[in-house]
Chain A
Amino acid sequence: MNPILEGLVKALWLLVSLDPEVYSIMFLSLRVSGFAVIIGAALSIPCGATIALRDFRGKRFLMSIINTLMGLPPVVVGLLVYLLLSTSGPLGPFQLLYTPTAMIIAQLIMVIPIITGVTVSAVSAVDKGVREKALSMGATGWQLTVTILREAKIGLLTAVIVSFGAAISEVGAVMIVGGNIRWITRVLTTAIVFETELGEFGIALALGIVLLLLAFVINWVLTQLQWSGLRR
């Protein structure tokens, strides 16, 4: 049978047969990338908004750095986090290496610049008039920030979508800090690498399709939110 067709059939079978290992891999992928994006958004959206709304010296320089980090190669992040968490590293005593927590940390470092960068541009794109208008109607500093973030809602959801996509599909970082341990730190991407190396192309492809389906479902939900934001 054609390997692609074989992969498709296998993917369907893995999903409908409720294969426990596949589901455990899927949920770990979701958990790791989901946490990384949620924590990342909670940290980066306020940061990005602050950078966008304030004028300070070195703002352009900072933006160049953030824009550069948006393209940070996952393997490099993985290596850095590995060095931090390894027994001889500064965070070695916490014994986090080869745990899902390490994977979340690595992906968090990856998504922070992405969410910050997209937030800065989304917030900057809000009409300056909106700011003055809200100020003129009597908004306090905090109310003003909330109003502007609401206006930038669509851009902020883009930040979440893009960073989630980057996180769930990266392999370099989770491989290095997670170690691809079966039942413990194996996620979809590392499983695909593993099966490919074993020559199990059918399963590898099936897992790839599962990854795509998962990404599609998540994005579909987020896009729905985004469009309801557009229509409102």
Chain B
Amino acid sequence: MLVETQGLTKAYEGREVLKDINLTVQEAEFFTVVGPSGSGKTTLLRLIDLLEQPSRGRVIFNGVEVGDSERERHALRRRIGMVFQQTVLLNSSVYDNVAYPLKIRNQTEDTIYRKVQETLELVGLKEFEKRKATTLSGGEMQRVALAQAIIYEPELLLLDEPTVNLDPRNVAIIENVISHVNKNLKMTVIMATHNMLQAEQLADRVAILKEGELAGIGHAEEIFGKPSDFLASFARLNNVFSGVSHVDEGGLAKIDIDGLELEATITRTGKVTLFIRPEDIILSTSPIASSARNTFRGKIIEATDLNRNVQVKVDVGKVFVATITRRSFQEMQLNLGSEVYLTFKASAVHAV
């Protein structure tokens, strides 16, 4: 489904939470909306799901503007699936929950049974069909919610922070299913998230929302390649670099980032985006002999106190961020302008 918004604006009690949003999401595209909490992501999705009326502007599906009649909005809603951030399930079994969207579409019992089995299999909850839905864990409940949203094969799938607060296993299952329906069933996906790495990994394009306004839109690489301060402020987007990777015969990748060469244990060649956790970087005042493959010399250009830790920005040609304990910072007698060495292992370099 082709989704467009034109001048979409929503105000609650006179306060505009979404201002003049103009977007076009292509058919079968994976589109993400990133932004800190309160930036209007949820409101945008609710307007597209036709749960609310915009204060101004319009939503357009496949070139046709959505009208005001509840009949028409209801018919369109049946072609859209949505996973809410707050998981709410019906007070019945997993089977009944997943079957619900088909029941209200008056499908036959046989069709419902077959589809529920298929969908539960997809989200890995096949053995759970008889369980009462509200007794499941948070991750399992969210998978049931996802099953409910995709079982009727909507043309557009809206996801509001679908993996927030979930453990890695559930996150992986949900991401796989979302990817699957997007790639194989050609569902258009619009996902709100503040997880930058997830956005980059899954999405074709990314829009950034800032205080209800569109602060940037583009392909994932463009957006994350040159992260703005705003993006970094909520996305913890430190140490994200774009470069070109060559894997040598030993299986070690050498990555050129505008002249700076890193070694990494990734297997991808060509253009890559990398990420190094600030806490994986060791700071020292002289070069240290170690097994770590990457060492660079640079100067401290910024130090920020973070409670027990200090976040240090070091310019080595590229700016790296390292987090060290405040005690280390004091004992090493570091200051702005101090010359330091950064060291990290090849395995600390992650491709996103």
* A136/B100 in contact, CB under 8 A: no
Most buried by B among A129, A130, A132, A133: A133
* B101/A132 in contact, CB under 8 A: no
Secondary structure dominating the interface of A: helix
Q: Which residues of A contact B93 (CB under 8 A)?
A: 232
Assuming A132-B51, A133-B84, A232-B132, is B74 touching A138 (CB within 8 A)? Answer: yes
Per-residue contact bits, chain B 70-91, to A (CB 8 Å; 1 contact, 0 not):
1000100110111010101011
Most buried by A among B84, B88, B105: B88
For the complex, is A217 an interface residue (Cβ under 8 Å from B)? no
Q: Which residues of A contact B84 (CB under 8 A)?
A: 129, 132-133, 136
Per-residue contact bits, chain A 202-232, to B (CB 8 Å; 1 contact, 0 not):
0000000000000000000000000000011
A178 to B93, CA, bound (A): 48
* A137/B100 in contact, CB under 8 A: yes
For the complex, is B148 an interface residue (Cβ under 8 Å from A)? yes
Interface size on A, residues (CB 8 A): 20
Q: Smallest distance from the beta carbon of B68 to chain A beta carbons, Å?
A: 16
* B104/A139 in contact, CB under 8 A: yes
* B132/A136 in contact, CB under 8 A: no
Assuming A138-B105, A231-B132, is B91 touching A133 (CB within 8 A)? Answer: no
Q: Which residues of B contact A138 (CB under 8 A)?
A: 74, 77-78, 101, 104-105, 152
* B77/A136 in contact, CB under 8 A: yes
For the complex, is B149 an interface residue (Cβ under 8 Å from A)? yes
Most buried by A among B77, B90, B104: B104
On chain B, which size bracket covers the interface?
20 to 34
For the complex, is A140 an interface residue (Cβ under 8 Å from B)? yes
B86 in complex: contacting residue of A129, A139, A141, CB < 8 Å: A129
* A129/B88 in contact, CB under 8 A: yes
For the complex, is A127 an interface residue (Cβ under 8 Å from B)? yes
Which 3 residue pairs spanning A and B have beta carbons closest together? A129-B88, A138-B78, A137-B101
**A and B contact pairs by CB, cutoff 8 A, 20 listed:** A127-B88, A129-B84, A129-B86, A132-B51, A132-B84, A133-B84, A133-B148, A136-B49, A136-B80, A137-B100, A137-B104, A138-B74, A138-B101, A138-B152, A141-B70, A147-B100, A150-B90, A151-B91, A231-B132, A232-B91
Residues of B within 8 A of A (CB): 49, 51, 70, 74, 77-78, 80-82, 84, 86, 88, 90-93, 100-101, 104-105, 132, 148-149, 152
> Given contacts A138-B78, A140-B104, could you give 19 more A-B pairs where the C-beta distance is less than 8 Å?
A129-B84, A129-B86, A130-B90, A132-B51, A134-B100, A134-B104, A136-B82, A137-B81, A137-B104, A137-B148, A137-B152, A138-B74, A138-B101, A139-B104, A140-B74, A147-B90, A151-B91, A153-B91, A231-B132
